[in-house]
Structure 1
């Protein structure tokens, strides 16, 4: 190790998804961290952005966050790393981020620096050729192995990079790195591993930093935290004056969203947190020891994510205040579905209703008390092969709420008092077609790092 410790600043759990809070960022930047790193993507946003090749976040928000990081890192002369560019890490999103960096460098008259970037998209023919050779592309989370049929239904595929392209870019002398789709923790683990720290602690550092202030309390998103790695431990510190990284907040964050809370699958292996020990290092800092990285045995496997278009989509909105309709909302929805089925019998479509404000129970009170809603909001989602049909399916399914025939109702008295706007066009509907892993001879096989010079 060239350093006894390494400090990495993470300003946002998903760059640009909502703007980074500048106050805590500037507090963190003033401490002069060794790296500025941030993840900018997630499959939590669903398959549509990848399939449609668009962002889930506002352009200005993403530019805002990149600008904060770039100016601080260049002023200090330390590296900046961003992974999964533009929410999905597709090639066009990487190009967009590279252009933003170029534009910011010109706008702020920054001295020359080296910008590295890599793409993550995978061509379908590449996978077809692998499958023809009998190479198994294994399904994850209960999926079947990839079939030619599922591949043909796919519009866009990205491979999920591990630490390797980031380490290579740093070895090439990059000052700024823009990565395609990547494992969240790899963005942070890579510089620590490159600097000589153990994989056991480096991957935990990545795990705890990837969501930024989500590991702090009280809850406050988009605030900056700093992770410190040494030969013996990882320490994470909240930068917001009112936040703290505590044993409870850090351990809770490390173990959320998993069927087995003590194991986290990361690119290239698994992070075993069974023997992690959490200590309160100081008022704002939690210290962690005991994590173990277990590499995959045998051939390296790279995760693939793919999305395919299902159809065009429209959204309808209905607000209901009639008490009797609210009480019988399930019957009303069944009536609506029947009317749509009658009109579109034999045609392919998808219709879904999401009811907000439906009667429920409040279990914390004694005795348990039923909550009676006075108003419902019903979101109607219609999907069909064409925009015209999707609009008609959705409009029919929404307006039939008004016409639902409840046998107890006499005349129009007591029918649903509701408001319907025109149904609204939405992003086409996509589905995940790939959640698989492919064996590769070299972990860099799908990721080609490019280096250019930017600035004046």
Structure 2
């Protein structure tokens, strides 16, 4: 990566990369699958670790996608392979954020209230012991304090499970004595990386942050992109329900007085004016429960007569499943996702009544078992192919299937069930850390 190498020429104090997120949905936490392939992880970690070791600076990375212990350990195997290529042995701090359910039940029994952080019907407004018991996996977002503790041990690098994205980037500035407003403001903007540049999303998009007493600069590594006032402000309000403030584990970051100055090189920016209001310390805990098993069918429809009666066709398919399989109606769910009509916006689609010339149909079935989900998908597949309608000229061919077999068993389905704040007197309490020597 040219941008990465160019950024290294400016002699950074650390190399930081975050690899955990909830943006990817609950499946990765529930199944412990890695977000990216081991080969891709190894390529990226090789770049990060090798560059850090060569320059004698720490690498700070969160790994695994969902960030549970299984993902952490699989990612550590990759780190060990990378470490084996280095010219000396490395001391690496390993931080686990997977939370034992007994720990949370003990907190609840002691009267600790854990309010929801998400306005969703899937998330209980206050965490209860029953929600903890039904969760398959729970992780806590570590704040910067865990990374700071690891750095105080003089390690070569820190590898964590689930971590607050901005916390990973705020750890070193806070450890070096920069004030909280500047450190968190820096962390909040730079953790979005290429999103703060234009054009946004360029894959070769390493971003360098330079902190000084009352401001920080953002310098893109790639000559193909630049930071502008607009691109940085857009990154600051991205994925926010409040464009002026962002709550973190120990305070609220205030954007209202931020000044973004475009620098003379026409590609870097300078930011100052962040505010910080301390709040009682709490970390976010994230958990998933199993909601069933999924099978899908993908089909294409182009016959105008069939499309004209599309809604009645879907009603007939639902009725066929209900009468033929006779399963309890609350034991399964069928969603018909209709691309070309309203597959993206659903009932909010303003052009829903405009007849499309074709429909791409995704049948999404979730049931109690994989066998039941598969049986429903197979019945829908055969029924959608052969169901008659006025004006039909043959007894089959209603749809075309791009894949064989048309029904695909996807596996377990997980949903977010814990998305709550865990109050803490000690920011390190839910997390465990060990130092491992590797490589050399």
Post-superposition Cα deviations, 1:165-209, rounded to whole Å, max 9, x if no partner, equal 000011111111001211100111101111111110111111111
Selected match of 1:451 from 414, 435, 438: 435
Post-superposition Cα deviations, 1:219-277, rounded to whole Å, max 9, x if no partner, equal 23432111111111121122221101100000011012222111122222221101111
Distance in 2, Cα, partners of 1:286 & 1:167:
27
1:123 Cα deviation (Å)?
Answer: 0.8
1:210 Cα deviation (Å)?
Answer: 1.2
Paired residues of 1:159 and 1:303 also in contact (CA < 8 A): yes
Q: Paired residues, what number?
A: 424
RMSD: 2.2
1:140 is aligned to 2:117: yes
1:252 is aligned to 2:234: yes
1:453 is paired with a residue whose SS is strand
1:319 is paired with a residue whose SS is strand
Selected match of 2:398 from 412, 416, 421: 416
Structure 2 alignment gaps of length 5 or more: 344-350
Distance in 2, Cα, partners of 1:381 & 1:414:
22
Paired residues of 2:53 and 2:86 also in contact (CA < 8 A): no
1:178 is aligned to 2:162: no
1:371 Cα deviation (Å)?
Answer: 7.2
Aligned residue number for residue 97 of structure 1: 75
1:442 is aligned to 2:426: yes
2:33 is paired with a residue whose SS is coil
Post-superposition Cα deviations, 1:293-333, rounded to whole Å, max 9, x if no partner, equal 22213xx2221100011112112111112122234333322
Distance in 2, Cα, partners of 1:65 & 1:111:
20
Q: Structure 1 stretch 248-257 or stretch 408-417: which is displaced more?
A: 408-417
Alpha carbons of 1:194 and 1:356: their partners in 2 closer, same or farther (altered >3 Å)?
A: same
1:379 is aligned to 2:362: yes
1:191 is aligned to 2:172: yes
1:455 Cα deviation (Å)?
Answer: 2.7
Distance in 1, Cα, partners of 2:206 & 2:326:
52
Distance in 2, Cα, partners of 1:98 & 1:389:
37
1:333 is paired with a residue whose SS is helix
Aligned residue number for residue 76 of structure 1: 55
Aligned residue number for residue 11 of structure 1: none
1:329 is aligned to 2:310: yes
1:69 Cα deviation (Å)?
Answer: 0.4
Paired residues of 1:225 and 1:237 also in contact (CA < 8 A): yes
Distance in 2, Cα, partners of 1:59 & 1:327:
47
Aligned residue number for residue 65 of structure 2: 87
2:29 is paired with a residue whose SS is helix
Paired residues of 2:219 and 2:268 also in contact (CA < 8 A): yes
1:359 Cα deviation (Å)?
Answer: 7.1
For normalisation by structure 1, the TM-score amounts to 0.88
Structure 1 alignment gaps of length 5 or more: 1-21, 361-367
Please show how residues 267-346 of structure 1 align to structure 2 within 5 Å.
267-281=249-263, 282-297=265-280, 300-342=281-323, 343-346=325-328
1:41 is paired with a residue whose SS is coil
Paired residues of 2:181 and 2:274 also in contact (CA < 8 A): yes
1:339 Cα deviation (Å)?
Answer: 1.7
Aligned residue number for residue 51 of structure 1: 30
Alpha carbons of 1:451 and 1:415: their partners in 2 closer, same or farther (altered >3 Å)?
A: closer
Q: Structure 1 stretch 199-208 or stretch 331-340: which is displaced more?
A: 331-340
* More strand by percentage: 1
Aligned residue number for residue 21 of structure 2: 42
Q: Structure 1 stretch 153-162 or stretch 210-219: which is displaced more?
A: 210-219
1:389 is aligned to 2:372: yes
Please show how residues 103-252 of structure 1 align to structure 2 within 5 Å.
103-106=81-84, 108-142=85-119, 143-222=124-203, 223-252=205-234
For normalisation by structure 2, the TM-score amounts to 0.91
Paired residues of 1:48 and 1:427 also in contact (CA < 8 A): no
Paired residues of 1:324 and 1:414 also in contact (CA < 8 A): no
1:29 Cα deviation (Å)?
Answer: 2.2
2:112 is paired with a residue whose SS is coil
Distance in 2, Cα, partners of 1:154 & 1:427:
18
Paired residues of 1:320 and 1:419 also in contact (CA < 8 A): no
